Structure 1
Amino acid sequence: MAEGVNIGPDPSLLLVDDDEIFLNRLARAMEKRGFQVSCAGSVGAAREILRDKAPAYAVVDLRLEDGSGLDVVDALREARAEARIVVLTGYGAIATAVAAVKMGATDYLAKPADADEVTRALLSAGTLPPPPETPMSADRVRWEHIQRVYEQCDRNVSETARRLHMHRRTLQRILAKRGPR
């Protein structure tokens, strides 16, 4: 994506993420694209910025040290209803994507997302993005889901099998194999 894209009359952008390295890197990249960036590392810092001036755009991490990024989405919707908000998360789950969109997010991206993806999401006019060049196979998606539930159950095979409605021995065989490519 070209730098200096057509942003509109108000280029203000709020970035909220508790990963300082990612936040600084994304801020520099978005400034190169013509945005006027404000950064916050927590829900509290984001609310302070929103009290002064509500930006036209926002990129908000879902999980922050002092709360949920959905609180920032809600506060920004109250301050500026037409703001375009992209929610970022390292834990891509359908339930959180639905919650983010219901709260007013424009789009939802899984980390790691680069500046081009974020810019496209912020500036898209409700159009669907193009399909990924190399999407994960269905077997890989299944594997990732099983691994995520397994980790959430503190690596307890019996509890994971119960939650996934599968036989414990079947799950053990799946876990013993390498993940598909």
Structure 2
Amino acid sequence: MSEEKPWSEDRLLVLVEDDEAFARTLKRSFERRGYRVLTADNQAALNALLESHNPQYAVVDLKLAAESGLVCVQALHAHDPAMLIVVLTGFASIATAVEAIKLGASHYLAKPSNTDDIEAAFARSAGDASTPLAPRPTSIKTLEWEHIHEVLKDSDFNISEAARRLGMHRRTLARKLAKRQIG
């Protein structure tokens, strides 16, 4: 995306999303709310945008084709530590939520999330110590999913390598992943 001059308004948002239809929809929704939206579908495109723009907001998909959105979160935070970054994912896990926050994300939202959810996350930049603690029973399936996701992340989302580390056949892992949407 090329522009003659960098945008300097205080509502500049960068959207890092590789699903073109979803990116287009989210972009239009934010533009209707008064944001100027720049889009990138991978880390290289994001880096090019950051050379000439200083967004105050970012929405990053965790799973970008062959890349991890966590690398983009890290680049955005390095570019401007005050930027409000929301990670969106259909591949939510405790491990990636913790990593996203450590790398500079303000919030981590599981899909489906909409513009209202994202704007609410931007508005809640500070933590809330009064949030009630509610016991969350963890099922074996949830623990298994979180472990699979952690191994996938550690193997750079290489399914064959993750399957080897998990001690299962690649097709078995692929079937498990197909049951829960990634992205």
TM bin (shorter chain): 0.5 to 0.7
Q: Answer 1 or 2: higher relative contact order, Cα 8 Å, separation at least 6.
A: 2
Q: Which runs of 4+ in 1 moved over 6 A?
A: 147-154
Q: Distance in 2 between matches of 1:76 and 1:125?
A: 16
Contiguous gaps of at least 5 residues in structure 1: 1-8, 132-136, 160-181
Match of 2:123 in 1: 123
Q: If the length of structure 2 is used for normalisation, what is the TM-score?
A: 0.67
Per-residue CA deviation, residues 1-53 of structure 1 (Å, 9 max, x unaligned), is xxxxxxxx600000011111111111111111111100111111111111111
Q: Secondary structure at the match of 1:15?
A: strand
Match of 1:25 in 2: 25
Q: 1:12 to 1:48 in 2, by over 3 A?
A: same
Per-residue CA deviation, residues 42-72 of structure 1 (Å, 9 max, x unaligned), is 1111111111112000000111124221111
Q: Are 1:43 and 1:66, in contact at CA under 8 Å, matched by a contact in 2? A: no
Q: If the length of structure 1 is used for normalisation, what is the TM-score?
A: 0.68
Match of 2:47 in 1: 47
Q: Highest Rg: 1 or 2?
A: 1
Tell me the number of residue pairs that the alignment of Structure 1 and Structure 2 aligns.
145
Per-residue CA deviation, residues 105-150 of structure 1 (Å, 9 max, x unaligned), is 000001111110011111223144xx9xxxxx847x6555556768
Q: Are 1:97 and 1:108, in contact at CA under 8 Å, matched by a contact in 2? A: yes
Mapping of residues 143-158 of structure 1, within 5 Å: 143-146=141-144
Q: Secondary structure at the match of 2:97?
A: helix
Identity %: 38
Query: Does 2:74 match 1:80?
Result: no
Contiguous gaps of at least 5 residues in structure 2: 1-8, 150-158, 169-183
Q: Secondary structure at the match of 1:58?
A: strand
